Amino acid sequence: MLVIPVIDIKNGKSVRMVEGLEDKTVYYSESPLKMARLFRKENAKVIHISDLDGAASGKRKNYQLIKEITESVGVPIQLGGGIRTYEIAEQLINELGVYRIVIGTSAIDNIELVQKLLEDFGKSKIVISVDVRDGFLVKDGWHNKTNIRGLEFALGMKAVGVDRIIFQDVGRVGLLEGPDYEGTKKIAVETGLKVTAAGGISSYSDLKQLQGLEVFGVDSVMMSRALYENKFPCQAIWREQEKIDTSLDLPKVK
């Protein structure tokens, strides 16, 4: 199963919003660029960036910072947060050079946008974020709860041609209490979509449990806090090496 490190950017810093709540924001690093380079050094194959400022406002205040990351780490970047127009999506794919964009709020409010993006850029470039609280979708940076059930929404996305979703219960995000295993399994089984699991992953045992869902199409997992806080034994070695070699000059991966 592919493990995708997550870098959440807020006010130019690397953070973690516990349960998606503003008053529970944890700041991890002044430099998301250094975190991206560190994850690359730790052999990450893909890195996910959440632009939390963009998700809340729709504005691209972190554009230049994200551009530095895409140009320096040498692995595919998946980007989400406030992608609400075709023009922004096109800019991120063609100019910023991200491998794949994540659509959340816009997929709820503007299904025609999703259809056009799929037509023009293809399924591999578009992933839909299914963020739920108590089974219902949340949007606008997780601030507003809808009356749409996550499974219903995912089936609707499949109907317009979406191939992959990211599924997470935002109430578990940042708590290190384990993912929504049953919810992830249910949405994978009933939609037949490729699923990236997220939210609450805390340990190797969580990963092993999710790996049991590969047969249903859950082929990857996004992780944040567990990686930042060294919840995996091998990371202690990597981080010790990081203290010795602070240059982080990484070769481009072809």
User: Which 3-state string (H, E, C) describes the chain?
Assistant: CEEEEEEEEECCEEEEEHHHCHHHEEEEECCHHHHHHHHHHCCCCCEEEEEHHHHHHCCCCCHHHHHHHHHHCCCCEEEECCCCCHHHHHHHHHHHCCCEEEECHHHHHCHHHHHHHHHHHCHHHEEEEEEEECCEEEECCCCEEEEEEHHHHHHHHHHCCCCEEEEEEHHHCCCCCCCCHHHHHHHHHHHCCEEEEECCCCCHHHHHHHHCCHHHCEEEEEECHHHHCCCCHHHHHHHHHHHHCCCCCCCCCC
Q: pLDDT tens across 134-144, in order?
A: 889 998 777 78
250 versus 119: the higher-pLDDT residue is 119
Residue pair 184/213 in contact by the 8 Å Cβ criterion: yes
- pLDDT for the residue 204: 84
Question: Per-residue pLDDT averaged across 230-253, rounded?
Answer: 51
Please check whether residue 98 lies inside any domain of the structure: yes
Please check whether residue 206 lies inside any domain of the structure: yes
Please check whether residue 76 lies inside any domain of the structure: yes
Please check whether residue 249 lies inside any domain of the structure: no
Beta strand 25-29 pairing with 13-17: antiparallel
Residue 70 has pLDDT above 90, yes or no: yes
Residue pair 200/177 in contact by the 8 Å Cβ criterion: yes
Please check whether residue 252 lies inside any domain of the structure: no
Please check whether residue 250 lies inside any domain of the structure: no
Q: pLDDT tens across 219-229, in order?
A: 999 988 888 77
Please check whether residue 14 lies inside any domain of the structure: yes
Number of domains in the chain: 1
CA angle, 146 as apex, 160 and 14 as ends, to 5°?
Answer: 90
Please check whether residue 193 lies inside any domain of the structure: yes
Q: pLDDT tens across 75-105, in order?
A: 999 999 889 899 999 999 999 989 999 999 8
CATH number at residue 200: 3.20.20.70
Residue 35 domain boundaries: 2-244
Active-site residue set: 8, 131
d(CA 125, CA 86) in angstroms, rounded, equals 13
Side chain identity, residue 66: I
pLDDT band at 35, cuts 50/70/90?
Answer: confident
pTM for the structure as a whole: 0.84
Q: Which two tokens stand for residue 37?
A: 């380079």
